Chain A
């Protein structure tokens, strides 16, 4: 059964439509990259999946269950882990609190605090630091670890390397690769960094003006330089 199905969803900020009939499917263990220029609806898609933006028309299904009207907290409990674009760590909570606060699901093979510290050693050394005291790279690690602490089935990574120094970007890329090979999480990665996106993705969708203009495997995407030129503008 698919982890996630979006069926012709529509969403808007106020009167401005942002998503117009978007459909996509994520299978277990699959990594889907969402590409496209700024302002084409990538982050909106992620927020609509997490339940932070209401879907006006269409259906959102998790594990085959209709969750279209469900709140963000119910969706998180149903298996969605969000790593938001701006990281949104809590300035007044310590690193350790970020990782012990969430409502946890499951138990076997779950992301315990120890396992999170083992996967993100920098967070162990910074356990008592507050969110506001962390560097950008540390905040990104924390945002990913916080999402994992809910033991998600589907991880939403929105621009995980944006605004980070090149050395840190390599760390994050390595981290995401390890996550894919070790945890087998399904993931949706929104990324400007094509190198990361194409190195990790099983499938690629390209968005333009709230719609999907390309969907296929990485090989299929590589075979369509025109899509890349028109909708991404690099390479």
Chain B
């Protein structure tokens, strides 16, 4: 049971990361390969604020989100907005950002990984149905559920969400009713970057920070997006929880095959649902 709970908390961290990746990909039509690097930037900035500065964890989350959001803003304005409709160049630019950010982080914080952030208020454990769980994991799951509900509401129940969905369906028609799609996409990119940064800090409670995150979490987030279907909040949630639980359980129970269980999962899901769990075509 503890393993499943650990898997769920990891899954919700992945959801924070992958929901942004999925929505940005749906709206821009391009995969932001630097999305994992934004998570990494958040993780390190948050670690500095919480551990080096000994500031409150909420402040660390805000700082991580702000830092990643700012990097996202520079990337969007400096690169992607100028490479409009040039998908190959956008992918290469994102890949370049991934390497640059990884090197910058390594220069600033050194190559050694950072230990998980210890927040005294989140030490201890809670007992649910006779099992004892670490409080920090339960809090991560709670934050993930709250974020999922909030994001679902934003995407399915607000005018902004309707514009994002319509833009994925047919962006030229959205322009033709007077909406500035470029501005909407830019905002989505920056907000998605900030959420990735916040995810890095929250994930830092159990994962710490590492320069390998830029690629490692990107790969996991990609699997989530492939499983869930592009541009779907519900699909990203289902995919993230699946990946979190399957990866964590297989690492604990079947370590000798854990390196390919995720790919086996992906193969099975795609055989059954070629367009992903949400059923939307990529």
Whether the Cβ atoms of A92 and B179 lie closer than 8 Å is: no
List of B residues within 8 angstroms of A90 by Cβ: 165-166, 169-170, 173
Q: Which of A74-110 contact B (CB under 8 A)?
A: 76-77, 81-82, 84, 88, 90-94, 97-98, 100-103, 105
Per a CB cutoff under 8 Å, which of B165, B168, B172 touches A72? B172
Whether B176 sits at the interface, judged by CB under 8 Å, is yes
How far, in Å, is B78 (CB) from chain A's closest CB?
21
Per a CB cutoff under 8 Å, which of B165, B166, B170, B177 touches A150? B177
List of A residues within 8 angstroms of B172 by Cβ: 52, 72
Whether the Cβ atoms of B169 and A101 lie closer than 8 Å is: no
**Alpha-carbon gap, A212 to B163, bound state (A):** 38
Whether the Cβ atoms of B162 and A93 lie closer than 8 Å is: yes
The digit string for B159-190, where 1 denotes a CB below 8 A from any CB of A, is: 10011011011101111111111000000000
Whether the Cβ atoms of A103 and B169 lie closer than 8 Å is: no
Whether A11 sits at the interface, judged by CB under 8 Å, is no
Interface residues on B, range: 10 to 19
Whether the Cβ atoms of B179 and A93 lie closer than 8 Å is: no
The digit string for B214-237, where 1 denotes a CB below 8 A from any CB of A, is: 000000000000000000000000
**Alpha-carbon gap, A220 to B178, bound state (A):** 37
Per a CB cutoff under 8 Å, which of A50, A88, A93, A147 touches B165? A93
Q: Given the known inter-chain contacts A73-B181, A100-B159, please indicate yes or no for A82 contacting B166, CB distance below 8 A.
A: no
List of B residues within 8 angstroms of A51 by Cβ: 175-176
Per a CB cutoff under 8 Å, which of A73, A100, A101 touches B175? A73
Whether the Cβ atoms of B178 and A76 lie closer than 8 Å is: yes
| Minimal Cβ-Cβ distance residue in A for B170 | A88
**Alpha-carbon gap, A51 to B172, bound state (A):** 10
**Alpha-carbon gap, A131 to B174, bound state (A):** 14
List of A residues within 8 angstroms of B162 by Cβ: 93-94, 97, 100-101
How far, in Å, is A148 (CB) from chain B's closest CB?
10
List of A residues within 8 angstroms of B176 by Cβ: 50-52, 72-73, 76, 82, 84
**Alpha-carbon gap, A131 to B170, bound state (A):** 12
List of B residues within 8 angstroms of A72 by Cβ: 172, 175-176
- With most chain A CB atoms within 10 A of its CB, the pick from B170, B178, B180, B181 is B178
Whether A2 sits at the interface, judged by CB under 8 Å, is no
Interface residues on A, range: 20 to 34
How far, in Å, is B154 (CB) from chain A's closest CB?
13
List of A residues within 8 angstroms of B175 by Cβ: 51-52, 71-73, 76
List of B residues within 8 angstroms of A77 by Cβ: 178
Whether A149 sits at the interface, judged by CB under 8 Å, is yes
Whether the Cβ atoms of A93 and B166 lie closer than 8 Å is: yes
List of B residues within 8 angstroms of A97 by Cβ: 159, 162, 166
Per a CB cutoff under 8 Å, which of A76, A94, A101 touches B163? A101
Whether A146 sits at the interface, judged by CB under 8 Å, is yes
Q: Which of A55-84 contact B (CB under 8 A)?
A: 71-73, 76-77, 81-82, 84
Whether the Cβ atoms of B170 and A147 lie closer than 8 Å is: no
Whether the Cβ atoms of B177 and A92 lie closer than 8 Å is: no
**Alpha-carbon gap, A50 to B168, bound state (A):** 20
List of A residues within 8 angstroms of B166 by Cβ: 90, 92-93, 97-98, 101
How far, in Å, is B170 (CB) from chain A's closest CB?
5
List of A residues within 8 angstroms of B181 by Cβ: 73
The digit string for A172-197, where 1 denotes a CB below 8 A from any CB of B, is: 00000000000000000000000000
List of B residues within 8 angstroms of A84 by Cβ: 173, 176
Whether the Cβ atoms of A147 and B169 lie closer than 8 Å is: no
Whether the Cβ atoms of B178 and A92 lie closer than 8 Å is: no
Q: Given the known inter-chain contacts A77-B178, A82-B176, A102-B178, please indicate yes or no for A92 contacting B169, CB distance below 8 A.
A: yes
How far, in Å, is A158 (CB) from chain B's closest CB?
11
List of B residues within 8 angstroms of A76 by Cβ: 175-179
Whether the Cβ atoms of B169 and A91 lie closer than 8 Å is: yes
How far, in Å, is B236 (CB) from chain A's closest CB?
15
Q: Which residues of B contact A (CB under 8 A)?
A: 159, 162-163, 165-166, 168-170, 172-181
- 8 additional A-B pairs beyond A73-B175, A92-B168, beta carbons within 8 Å, are A76-B176, A84-B173, A91-B169, A93-B165, A98-B166, A101-B177, A102-B178, A103-B177
The 4 closest A-B CB pairs, nearest first, are A76-B178, A103-B178, A72-B175, A102-B177
Pairs across A and B, CB under 8 Å, 13 listed: A50-B176, A73-B180, A76-B175, A76-B177, A84-B173, A90-B173, A91-B169, A92-B169, A98-B166, A100-B159, A101-B159, A103-B179, A146-B177
